[in-house]
Amino acid sequence: MKIADRLHQAGIILPEPPLPVANYIPSAIAGNLLFISGQLCLDNGTLHQRHIGKVGGSVSTDLGIEAAKFCAINLLAQARAALGDLERIQRCVRLGGFINAQAGFTALPPIMNGASDLMVAILGEAGKHTRTTVGVAELPMGAAVEIEAIFEVR
Amino acid sequence: MKIADRLHQAGIILPEPPLPVANYIPSAIAGNLLFISGQLCLDNGTLHQRHIGKVGGSVSTDLGIEAAKFCAINLLAQARAALGDLERIQRCVRLGGFINAQAGFTALPPIMNGASDLMVAILGEAGKHTRTTVGVAELPMGAAVEIEAIFEVR
Amino acid sequence: MKIADRLHQAGIILPEPPLPVANYIPSAIAGNLLFISGQLCLDNGTLHQRHIGKVGGSVSTDLGIEAAKFCAINLLAQARAALGDLERIQRCVRLGGFINAQAGFTALPPIMNGASDLMVAILGEAGKHTRTTVGVAELPMGAAVEIEAIFEVR
Best mutation target among A23, A58, A148 (most C Cβ atoms within 10 Å) is A23
Q: Is it the case that residue A20 has pLDDT exceeding 90? A: no
A150 touches chain B (CB under 8 A): yes
Give A67's pLDDT tier (boundaries 50, 70, 90): very high
pLDDT(A64) > 80: yes
What is the pLDDT averaged over residues C30-53? Answer: 97
In chain A, the percentage of residues whose pLDDT exceeds 90 is: 95
The tens digit of pLDDT for each residue in A28-47 reads 999 999 999 999 999 999 99
Interface size between B and C, measured as CB pairs under 8 A: 87
C139, B95: Cβ pair inside 8 Å? no
Q: Taking the CB of residue C1, how many other CB atoms lie within 10 A of it? A: 7
* Predicted pLDDT of residue B20: 79
pLDDT at position A116 is 98
Cβ A115 vs Cβ A70: under 8 Å: no
Over the range B23-39, which residues count as b (16 or more CB within 10 Å of their CB) and which as e? bbbbbbebbebbbbbbb
Whole-model pTM: value is 0.97
For the four alpha carbons of A34, A38, A43 and A44, in that order, the dihedral sign comes to negative
What is the percentage of chain C residues whose pLDDT exceeds 70? 100
Per-residue model confidence (pLDDT) at position C125: 93
**B46: DSSP letter:** B
ipTM of the complex: 0.96
Is residue B6 very low, low, confident or very high in pLDDT (cuts 50, 70, 90)?
Answer: very high
Q: Give the minimum alpha-carbon distance from A73 to chain C in angstroms, rounded to a whole number.
A: 17
Looking at the DSSP bridge assignments, the partners of residue A143 are A52
- B38 contacts A131? CB cut-off 8 A: yes
pLDDT band at B95 (very low <50, low <70, confident <90, very high): very high
**pLDDT (tens digit per residue) in B26-45:** 999 999 999 999 999 999 99
Helix axes C108-123, C61-83, angle to 10 degrees: 40
Confidence bin at C20 (pLDDT 50/70/90): confident
Residue whose C-alpha is closest to residue A53's, from A102, A108, A98, A97? A102
Residue B24 is given by DSSP the state S
Mean pLDDT throughout A121-149?
Answer: 97
Per-residue pLDDT for A152 more than 90? Answer: yes
Least confidently predicted of B7-21, B118-132, C56-70, C137-151 = B7-21
pLDDT tens-digit map of C62-121 = 999 999 999 999 999 999 999 999 999 999 999 999 999 999 999 999 999 999 999 999
Is pLDDT of A96 > 90? yes
Say whether pLDDT at B106 is over 80. yes
CA atoms of B123 and B3, how far apart (whole Å)? 6
Is the pLDDT score of A23 beyond 90?
no
Helical axes B61-83 vs B108-123, angle rounded to 10°: 40
Task: List the single residue in C93, C94, C116 with the smallest CB-CB distance to A23.
Answer: C116
Q: Does A111 touch chain C (CB under 8 A)?
A: no
Residue A138: closest CA among A107, A99, A104: A99
pLDDT at B8 over 80: yes
| Helices A108-123 and A61-83, axial angle in degrees (round to 10) | 40
Confirm or reject contact between A26 and chain C (CB < 8 A): yes
Cβ–Cβ under 8 Å, residues A8 and A130: no
Put simply, whether B44 touches C (Cβ < 8 Å) is no
B139 touches chain A (CB under 8 A): yes
C12-31 mean pLDDT: 90
Nearest chain B Cα to C38, which residue? Answer: B132
CA–CA gap between residue B14 and residue B80 (Å, rounded): 9
What stretch of H or E contains A40?
A: strand A33-40
Residue B90: per-residue pLDDT: 97
- Domain range list for chain A: 3-11+40-153
d(CA A100, CA A56) in angstroms, rounded, equals: 9
Answer whether B129 touches C (CB < 8 Å).
yes
How far apart are the C-alpha atoms of C95 and C129, rounded to whole Å?
Answer: 7
**pLDDT tens-digit series, residues B51-71:** 999 999 999 999 999 999 999
pLDDT value at residue B21: 72
Q: Is the pLDDT of residue C23 over 90?
A: no
**Number of neighbouring beta carbons within 10 Å of residue B16:** 9
Q: What pLDDT does B23 receive? A: 81
The pLDDT of B18-32, averaged and rounded, is: 89
From chain C, pick out residues whose CB is under 8 angstroms from the CB of A148. 130, 132
pLDDT, average across residues A89-115: 98
Judged by a CB distance cut-off of 8 A, whether residue A104 touches chain C is no
Give the Cα separation of A85 and A123 in Å (integer): 12
Q: How far apart are CA A135 and CA A98, in angstroms?
A: 6
Whether C29 contacts chain A with CB within 8 A: no
* Matching CATH number, A3-11+40-153, of 3.30.1330.40, 3.40.640.10, 3.20.10.10, 3.50.50.60: 3.30.1330.40
Average pLDDT over residues C144-148: 98
Residue of A nearest to C137 (CA): A137
